[in-house]
């Protein structure tokens, strides 16, 4: 629970403050003094009478009441110290720099929990442990450098890792990215990234608060809180970009040893970010590139003009933009020919617009004017202009700076010559501009920003399903996979069309019922999880004799408990499924089905509940979407029904949250109908 004692303390005590600024306690004192903290600054260090000119107390019992305590002492002393501060000194905010708690072992976890309990008992706030601290306009409560100048129009940074926060600030300052509030939450024992975001949402004022939030997460302890407050902030006009580390087994192990974080899959995290409207980033460089894009005018269309005097950089940028879904349209016609007359012979205006290494500031200005006023189909410009070190490029960057202000279309400057043009870039940044030194990183970030939609609707209307029937099946079932009979009842109750089927463990009964299904038929083993892997699927069965023979073959498979018979359906094989991760809503998946799901891995995901618009975006984001539309003379599928099936699956898991896994693979899709053929459902009751 973030409080005023943390954000604007009238008094701060640094436990472990030191005269040695190479120690964390000493550096925190120096940073608070150099940062101009205006409140009462106190030190506790039994070995010193004065610390950096401030009287030092021998014992925490001796200090006056204090709003905020910053602890830079060994973990084993923190619990006793915090108990005194909370119970006797009216301290309501704590920052624990020290490591050696929940990220270390069970003993550390136990101490960490006791500390949280004490702080909660006085309605206090805890940042950390295992963090670098907090930076804001009121105080610089960190032991690290650099300390960026507070900028109310900069970026708020909330990080689960202190070192990563430092690296982001270091790199951002070189690019010209400004910062405002910085929270390093460390283990997040009481206050995590989501809690800081909640505070920023509840107290957000567009007139005074930064409109850009950058997040580095190693754990998402409360996905619903993150979704709620990120969506709320974005709907208020805030832009949010985030990195979620630790989404692989190896990354999870590293995160667990670092801050005790628990992994969640990359797919589920991406689905959460997409629903919230958060731009997904995979590196610090990409995060800062997205932050820089946020600072410039908004990209509202796909068509990009690349303006350069460096052909290779333009080629690499064109590649990454095209792969990411943006376009570099050909520029031609009378206006293009007219533009060419202003450039040196050998220049190209077709896009990329290459005006050669000898290109001038005046030529750059003319090109940008044409892209702004003449080429209506161009939505944005990327200007790549470095220096071979032969001449001063300050005039070029001055023109670029002016055009950034006066042009209505967004312009993204790539100034890669950070050594040859160091002085000129520094001047460019001093005017409040931001540089993108790497065109490929910019291209990837630009694609991510463009394809990130606004937050999903909060009140989603799902199709009506038979909730009573579904609950009765779930309530009576045991943990594990539902029986084929219960699975069929669940699908019927959900309103998802399915193929007619017969399930029997008696050959005699099967043969007596087989006339209900017209030949050709498909026969499948019931029992083994992966039927194809056990040769448990037999296609194109056309006679009673084949049914009898194949029944014996299938029942001989290890784990077989019955045989399922269905009509042979033809059409495009599709897939929908469900994955449930702790703390998250169900992730709904869709894609091409059959063996293609494993071979192509062409799957889209979204968090339930899913609106019809979200379901449509899922389907249309598939690489194989052209197959769904119909291609090479073959009919496509009924897309409207596919959308409805995704929504019905969402309605099912909202009714039955006990579902932890579910696959419908394949669904057979035609232009007229989509039919579920093979379904499995796994439940787990908490």
Mean of the pLDDT values across residues 89-110?
93
- Give the pLDDT confidence score for residue 258 in this predicted structure: 35
Of 29-43, 227-241, 255-269, 606-620, least confident by mean pLDDT is 255-269
Q: What share of the chain has pLDDT > 70, as a percent?
A: 97
Which 3 state secondary structure label does DSSP give 166? helix
- Give the pLDDT confidence score for residue 247 in this predicted structure: 61
pLDDT tens for each residue of 552-592 = 999 999 999 999 999 999 899 999 999 999 899 999 999 99
Distances (CA, A) of 306 to 335, 357, 360, 364, 499: 17, 15, 16, 12, 53
Q: What is the mean pLDDT of the chain?
A: 93
Evaluate if residue 679 carries a pLDDT over 60: yes
Q: What share of the chain has pLDDT > 90, as a percent?
A: 85
DSSP-assigned letters across all residues of 470-536: HHHHHHHPPSEEPPHHHHHHHHHHHT--B---EEES-HHHHHHHGGGSPSSEEEEEESSS-TGGGT-
Evaluate if residue 450 carries a pLDDT over 60: yes
* Residue 535 or 161, more confident: 161
Distances (CA, A) of 204 to 156, 160, 213, 297: 12, 22, 12, 22
Mean of the pLDDT values across residues 170-196?
96
Of 333-342, 452-461, 468-477, 617-626, least confident by mean pLDDT is 452-461
Burial class (CB in 10 A: 0-12, 13-18, 19+), 392: exposed
pLDDT tens for each residue of 304-344 = 999 998 788 999 999 999 999 999 999 999 999 999 999 99
Mean of the pLDDT values across residues 261-273?
78
Evaluate if residue 160 carries a pLDDT over 90: yes
Evaluate if residue 175 carries a pLDDT over 80: yes
- Give the pLDDT confidence score for residue 195 in this predicted structure: 97
Evaluate if residue 178 carries a pLDDT over 90: yes
pLDDT tens for each residue of 195-216 = 999 999 999 999 999 999 999 9
- Give the pLDDT confidence score for residue 264 in this predicted structure: 57
- Give the pLDDT confidence score for residue 385 in this predicted structure: 93
Contacts (Cβ under 8 Å, ≥6 apart) of 394: 423, 424, 427
pTM of the model: 0.90
Evaluate if residue 388 carries a pLDDT over 70: yes
* Residue 562 or 633, more confident: 562
Per the DSSP assignment, residues forming a β-bridge with 676 are: 498, 667
- The Cα 671–Cα 547 span in angstroms is 31
Evaluate if residue 495 carries a pLDDT over 50: yes
Mean of the pLDDT values across residues 105-120?
94
CB 157 within 8 A of CB 193: no
Evaluate if residue 458 carries a pLDDT over 80: no
Evaluate if residue 254 carries a pLDDT over 90: no
């Amino acid at each position: 629970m973030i409080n005023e004692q943390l954000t604007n303390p009238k008094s701060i005590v640094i436990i472990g403050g030191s005269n040695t600024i190479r120690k964390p306690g000493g550096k925190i004192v120096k940073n608070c003094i150099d940062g101009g903290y205006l409140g009462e600054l106190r030190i506790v260090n039994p070995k010193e009478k004065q610390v950096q000119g401030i009287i030092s107390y021998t014992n925490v019992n001796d200090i006056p009441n204090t709003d905020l305590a910053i602890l830079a002492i060994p973990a084993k002393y923190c619990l006793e110290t915090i108990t005194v501060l909370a119970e006797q000194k009216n301290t309501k905010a704590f920052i624990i720099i020290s490591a050696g708690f929940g990220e270390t072992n069970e003993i550390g976890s136990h101490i960490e929990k006791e500390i949280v309990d004490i702080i909660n008992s006085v309605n206090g706030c805890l940042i950390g442990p295992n963090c670098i601290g907090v930076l804001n306009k009121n105080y610089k409560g960190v032991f690290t450098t650099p300390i960026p100048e507070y900028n109310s129009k900069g970026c708020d940074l909330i990080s689960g890792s202190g070192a990563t926060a430092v690296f982001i600030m270091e790199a951002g300052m070189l690019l010209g990215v400004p910062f405002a509030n910085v929270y390093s939450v460390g283990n997040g024992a009481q206050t995590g990234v989501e809690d800081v975001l909640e505070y920023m949402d509840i107290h957000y004022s567009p007139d005074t608060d930064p409109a850009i939030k950058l997040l580095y997460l190693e754990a998402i302890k409360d996905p619903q809180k993150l979704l709620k407050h990120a969506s709320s902030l974005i709907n208020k006009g805030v832009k949010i970009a985030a990195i979620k580390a630790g989404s692989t087994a190896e990354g999870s192990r590293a995160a667990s040893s670092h801050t005790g974080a628990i992994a969640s899959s990359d797919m589920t995290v991406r689905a959460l970010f997409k629903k919230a409207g958060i731009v997904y980033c995979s590196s610090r460089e990409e995060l800062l590139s997205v932050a820089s894009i946020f600072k410039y005018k908004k990209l509202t269309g796909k068509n990009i003009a690349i303006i350069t005097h460096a052909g290779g950089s333009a080629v690499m940028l064109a590649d990454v933009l095209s792969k990411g879904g943006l376009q570099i349209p050909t520029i031609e016609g009378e206006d293009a020919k007219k533009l060419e007359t202003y450039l040196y012979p050998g220049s190209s205006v077709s896009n990329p617009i290459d005006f050669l290494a000898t290109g001038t500031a005046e030529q750059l200005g003319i090109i940008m004017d044409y892209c702004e006023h003449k080429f209506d189909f161009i939505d944005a410009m990327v200007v790549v202009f470095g220096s071979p070190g032969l001449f001063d490029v300050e005039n070029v960057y001055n023109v670029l700076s002016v055009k950034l202000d006066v042009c209505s279309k967004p312009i993204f400057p790539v100034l890669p010559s950070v050594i040859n043009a160091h002085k000129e870039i520094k001047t460019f940044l001093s005017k409040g501009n931001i540089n993108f030194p790497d065109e490929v990183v910019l291209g990837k970030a630009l694609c991510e920003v463009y394809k990130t939609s606004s937050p999903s609707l909060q009140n989603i209307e799902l199709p009506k399903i038979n909730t009573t029937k579904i609950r009765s099946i779930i309530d009576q079932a045991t943990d594990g996979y539902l029986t084929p009979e219960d699975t069929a009842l669940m699908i019927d109750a959900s309103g998802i069309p399915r193929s007619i089927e017969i399930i029997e463990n008696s050959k005699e009964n099967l043969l007596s019922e087989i006339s209900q299904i017209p030949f050709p038929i498909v026969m499948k083993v019931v029992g083994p999880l992966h039927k194809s892997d056990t040769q448990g699927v037999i296609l194109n069965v056309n006679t009673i004799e084949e049914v009898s023979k194949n029944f014996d073959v299938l029942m001989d498979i290890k784990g077989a408990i019955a045989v399922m018979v269905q009509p042979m359906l033809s059409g495009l094989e599709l897939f929908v499924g469900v994955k449930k991760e702790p703390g998250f809503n169900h992730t709904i998946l869709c894609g091409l089905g059959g063996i293609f799901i494993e071979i192509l891995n062409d799957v889209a995901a979204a968090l339930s509940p899913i609106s019809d618009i979200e379901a449509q975006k899922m389907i249309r984001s598939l690489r194989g979407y052209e197959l769904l539309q119909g291609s090479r003379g073959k009919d496509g599928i009924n897309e409207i029904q596919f959308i409805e099936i995704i929504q019905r699956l969402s309605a099912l898991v909202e009714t039955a949250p006990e579902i932890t896994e579910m696959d419908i693979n394949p669904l057979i899709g035609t232009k007229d109908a989509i039919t579920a053929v093979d379904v499995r459902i796994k439940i787990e009751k908490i």
